[in-house]
Amino acid sequence: MNNRQILVTSALPYANGHIHIGHLVEYLQTDIWVRFQKLRGNRTVYICADDTHGTAIMIRAKEEGIGEEELIASMQEAHIADFAGFDIEFDNYGSTHSPENRALCAEFWAAMHEADLVSEEEVEQLFDIADGMFLADRQVRGTCPKCGAKDQPGDNCSRCGAHYNASDLVDPVSALTGTAPEVRKADHLFINVEKLHGFLDDWTQSGKHLQSEVANYLKGHFLHEPLRDWDVSRPAPYFGFEIPDSPGNYWYVWFDAPIGYMASTSQWCDRHGEDFDDWWRSDRTEIHHFIGKDITYFHTLFWPAMLKTARFSLPAKIHIHGFLTVSGEKMSKSKGTFVRASTYLEHLNPAYLRYYYASKLTPRVDDLDLNLDEFVTKINADLVGKVVNLASRTARFLEGDTLSETYPDDGGLFKQAARDGRAIAGAYEACDFNRAMRQILAAADRANQFVEHHAPWVLKKDPDKADALRDVCTVGLNLFRQVALYLSPVLPRLAKQTSELLNRPIACWDESAKPLAGTPVSKFSHMMKRVKREQVDAMLAASTEEDAKPGQRVH
């Protein structure tokens, strides 16, 4: 299914901390899906931005003795470098602190007023006396008012999933100063989401836009009763956009953050001479959001309600993934498993993590476990032992020569892998990367059996077998190129190396259906080294030593 127009977003990383390997689950998943769509010939644009507003940014800037704008500029530079190090390619990477975002927020706000969804109420909010400021939900810890779980944040419970106000917590404590905050009253602005309950019920339960477990979760936890009004403002002091018709009040970070997808798209449109409405007000464009399960609530209820009210396109699909665990446990700073992206890159090849995550990702919302022993074994067995080995065992016999003028008889192996391409593409499309990797590796296994059986290293010893040697290596290299093409969304560097080796760029999925013949073979260069457990241990040791505090994952 070609000629689709697809706009893809990942959740916006928060600008108060660095990217770590937990974040990378999402950005690698999205990048792989985008690369696949581009390889299929679909017009695909990948949009992201830094999420830059909120109380946490103010606090971080104050701790570092710099202004908020200086903080978010330096963090954006660091984020972009980390993503580039993992071959994650955005078509535009913006910031929610941009004029485009401010203008779009005002447009949404006007639409909310026009639909009579905005109201003002006096609310009780927790105030840190020691710091002289109102506390954001995530800056309060206490006991869940629903299930009694201790040490929970001020917006939702990690044990029972309940959503509540920070002032509802039992025995709340400021996460900033460790003091007991006091309740103070302030005027806040609210959006009446309940007026869109019928629409949200239909949209979330249609079976088209969400995974079934997500739709069931929303029905069982939120849509079975009236939706509570959404608090969308915060009083000064607050780093964000001041609300034009409410001086001294600012849009809450969760109001302007998703609009940041659109602001970043607007920047891309301006740079490429595109019409913004072709991407956000067009039935032709499919909008796909990739997010973590922790921000399901905002993206599946508030965000569609906002888009519907402001008459923008709704997402075709919201792809929701689980969290990362390391060897079965939450990431831990003390164990060194809370690994920054930059620290990983100092020790290991990014291709390893791209492949490992791909081998684990499914269309479900399951958590993904990075088992470090399995990581070493899988990379060495699959990538080095099966994939790269195919090229190294055949290419060196044809260096400086050409492939056979016609593709030799291979017993149907190339045609079989070409037929498998449809199922592999279906798995990629469905975000079932685990299934795609298994099918691709099966083709690599068959190819290795062919090379093993025909033993080009033995044929090389007999001058009379020169033609047979060339034919065997031609088959081996074509089967390798097929595998490299199928893996190219996951391993773009390997695709580039393959293109250079066989003097033919990998540019289109359909190239997997036609073998190369008569093309020159370049000198073989080493493609990938085996990973050693010592490298992994050195990365963990370096992560344990880091004393800079990592950024919290807000969205």
Please give the structure tokens belonging to residue 354.
């791209």
Task: Print the domain residue range for 148.
Answer: 119-191
pLDDT of residue 3: 87
β-pair partners for 133: 128
pLDDT value at 415 more than 60: yes
pLDDT band for position 161 (50/70/90)? Answer: confident
What is the pLDDT averaged over residues 502-528? 97
pLDDT of residue 546: 65
What CATH number is given to the structural domain containing 123?
2.170.220.10
Is residue 162 in some structural domain?
A: yes
Would you state the torsion angle of the CA atoms of residues 22, 24, 25, 27, taken in this order, to the nearest 10 degrees? 140
Largest CA distance in the chain: 92
- The Cα 138–Cα 542 span in angstroms is 28
Is residue 548 in some structural domain?
A: no
Indicate the number of domains in the chain.
Answer: 3
**What 3-state DSSP class applies to 403?**
coil
**321 phi and psi angles, rounded to 5 deg:** -120, 165
DSSP code string of 440-468: HHHHHHHHHHHHHHH-HHHHTT-GGGHHH
What is the pLDDT averaged over residues 433-457? 98
What is the pLDDT averaged over residues 106-114? 98
Same domain assignment for residues 16 and 93: yes
The per-residue pLDDT of the chain, averaged, comes to: 95
pLDDT band for position 2 (50/70/90)? Answer: low
pLDDT value at 325 more than 70: yes
Same domain assignment for residues 94 and 40: yes
Q: Where are the beta strands (DSSP E) in 200-284?
A: 230-231, 233-235, 249-251
What is the pLDDT averaged over residues 305-329? 97
What is the pLDDT averaged over residues 194-218? 98
pLDDT of residue 56: 87
Same domain assignment for residues 171 and 260: no
| Cis status, amide bond into 237, omega within 30 of 0 | yes
β-pair partners for 330: 325
What is the pLDDT averaged over residues 460-479? 97
pLDDT value at 552 more than 70: no
pLDDT value at 200 more than 50: yes
pLDDT value at 1 more than 80: no
Same domain assignment for residues 83 and 52: yes
Summarised one tens digit per residue, pLDDT across range 396-410 is 999 999 999 999 999
pLDDT value at 550 more than 80: no
pLDDT value at 192 more than 60: yes
Same domain assignment for residues 242 and 107: yes
pLDDT value at 276 more than 90: yes
Is residue 432 in some structural domain?
A: yes
Same domain assignment for residues 128 and 113: no
Is residue 520 in some structural domain?
A: no
Is residue 48 in some structural domain?
A: yes
Is residue 519 in some structural domain?
A: no
- The Cα 342–Cα 345 span in angstroms is 5
Same domain assignment for residues 167 and 76: no
Residues 6+ apart with CB under 8 A from 322: 292, 293, 364, 365, 366, 367, 368
Q: Secondary structure of the chain: what % helix, strand, coil (to 5)?
A: 50, 15, 35
Would you state the torsion angle of the CA atoms of residues 454, 457, 463, 467, taken in this order, to the nearest 10 degrees? 40
pTM over 0.75: yes
pLDDT band for position 553 (50/70/90)? Answer: very low
Same domain assignment for residues 467 and 482: yes
What is the pLDDT averaged over residues 318-339? 95
What is the pLDDT averaged over residues 521-550? 87
Is residue 541 in some structural domain?
A: no
| β-strand pairing of 182-191 with 118-128 | antiparallel
**390 phi and psi angles, rounded to 5 deg:** -60, -45
